[in-house]
């Protein structure tokens, strides 16, 4: 399927869907972000059953701030609508594959029981 670009309004629907969604919060001005973009896009080709999306933190500065993104690249992973990973910095390809394997193996019932969603006020 490859990597798709996300705009602000699209993020909520993309990450709330069932399955695994990886989001690369990137910028074209950062060398490390450009380097990780290549790793991320290659992973998208290897894992066609998952959704891979790129969020331009300069074009979507408000959304990036809402997500807590402080630097690019930042990798965020949702599974079945639950944010299960968010870390700044870039990962090598084998680490991305290991992360994907780990997220696939998560017991989401246990995750939800341990980390219930916040109560709206």
Q: Per-residue pLDDT tens for 5-55?
A: 888 778 888 898 899 999 999 999 989 999 999 999 999 999 999 999 999
What is the SS3 assignment for 50? coil
Q: Are 85 and 111 in contact (CB under 8 A)?
A: no
Angle at 66 between CA 63 and CA 71, to 5 degrees: 80
pLDDT at 67 over 70: yes
Specify the residue for token string 């996300």: 6
Give the count of beta carbons closer than 10 Å to the beta carbon of residue 106. Answer: 15
Q: Are 38 and 8 in contact (CB under 8 A)?
A: no
105 vs 110: CA distance, rounded Å: 12
Q: Look up the pTM and report it.
A: 0.92
Domains in the chain, CATH or no CATH each: 3-114 (3.40.30.10)
52 vs 36: CA distance, rounded Å: 13
């Amino acid at each position: 399927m490859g990597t798709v670009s996300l705009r602000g309004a699209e993020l909520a629907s993309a990450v709330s869907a069932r399955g695994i969604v990886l989001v690369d919060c990137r910028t074209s001005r950062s060398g490390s972000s450009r380097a990780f973009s290549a790793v991320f896009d290659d992973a998208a080709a290897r894992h066609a059953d998952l959704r891979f999306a790129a969020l331009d933190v300069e074009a979507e500065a408000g959304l990036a701030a809402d997500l807590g993104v402080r630097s690019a690249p930042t990798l965020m992973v949702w599974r079945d609508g639950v944010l299960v990973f968010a870390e700044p910095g870039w990962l090598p390809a084998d680490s991305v594959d290991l992360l994907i394997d780990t997220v696939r193996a998560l017991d989401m019932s246990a995750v939800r029981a341990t980390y219930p969603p916040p109560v709206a006020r």
